[in-house]
Amino acid sequence: MLAGRDIITIEDMSVQDIAEVLETAARFEQEGYPHDALEGVVVGSLFFEPSTRTRLSFETAVKRLGGEVSGFSGTDGTSVAKGESFEDTIRIVNGYADAIIVRHPEAGSALTAAEVADVPVINAGDGPADHPTQTLLDLYAIQRTQGTLDGLVVAMVGDLKHGRVPHSLAKALSHFPHTKQVWVAPESLRMPNDVRSAVLGAGVEVEEVEDMASIIPNVDVLYMTRVQAERFTSQAEYELVKDVYVLQPKMLDSAKENMRVMHALPRRYEIPESVDSSPHAYYFEQARGGVPVRAALLAAILT
Ligand code: NCD
């Protein structure tokens, strides 16, 4: 069903597509990777913006499946530094690779790439807009820890305005009618209207609050996010909100036993290291799921 497709936003995937990827990822983890699934395949990995987990887990996934990667991390050594356009860069890699993974600071860039390229394009984060493959691994983590994606209470905390991670996650969770979303943000970092309309339009329950501590006892997943310093036009405005939510270990005393704290990482102020030893902390295990989930997606698109 996913063969040959572009993945630009999480809305490009149906619930069945998502379920297929999560099932395949679990199978890869249990039974091992099919080492020749991508034999002879070259994947273009174009990271115009910094990345650790997304790039390395994608590239590891390609290698685990027997494929090869050709690409760059940062544009310094490329013709982008000579002024080559984004579109021309994509046209060239389209002629070299069997699929393109692209991260870029501008919203809409992955869609532009898909319009220019014939090979499948996977969005690895386009500015503040979307991050669909992060959402797949987030759903994998939620399903693993909660046993389900429906009937939950999932809180997203922090920079819901600029965070492509909560945008994609909120839209994906709106497929699950009995999962309530709690959006925790200060006035200046609230969820954008396009995401709000999409989620409310799907008919799911959303609560918007500013206080984090009071919602902790009621949630199954506490999804913390980094305040996106690089998206602010004013440093002073960033300074005002950069540590608006800081999760302290004692705040977790009131949490449900099976509640899990998640985060796409990197973290800055919002989760101090003192939380890491809590049985609720799940962000490092969550990140580990990036390889099987991205391998499952690549196998579905490319085989
Ligand atoms: C996120 C991103 O790049 O949007 N990181 C990631 O992909 N794991 C979150 C962030 O940078 O805050």
DSSP string, 199-263: HHHTT--EEEES-SGGGGGG-SEEEE----GGG-S-HHHHHHHTTS----GGGGGGS-TT-EEEE
Residues 163-178 have pLDDT tens digits of 999 999 999 999 999 9
Task: Kindly list the protein residues whose Cβ atom lies closer than 6 A to any atom of ligand 1.
Answer: 53-54, 125, 131, 134, 164-165, 226, 264-266
* Closest-lying ligand 1 atom to the alpha carbon of residue 165: 4
Q: pLDDT > 70: what percent of the chain?
A: 100
Residues 243-272 have pLDDT tens digits of 999 999 999 999 999 999 999 999 999 999
Residue 38's pLDDT band, with cuts at 50, 70 and 90, is: very high
How far, in Å, CA of 203 to CA of 223, rounded? 21
Cis? peptide before 217, omega within 30° of 0: no
Residues 132-172 have pLDDT tens digits of 999 999 999 999 999 999 999 999 999 999 999 999 999 99
Q: Is pLDDT of 22 > 90?
A: yes
**Token pair listed for 148:** 């389900």
Residue with CA closest to ligand 1 atom 1: 264
Q: What is the pLDDT of residue 1?
A: 86
Classified as helix, coil or strand, 66 is: coil
- Cα 225 to ligand 1 centre (Å): 9
State pTM to two decimals: 0.98
Q: What is the pLDDT of residue 23?
A: 98
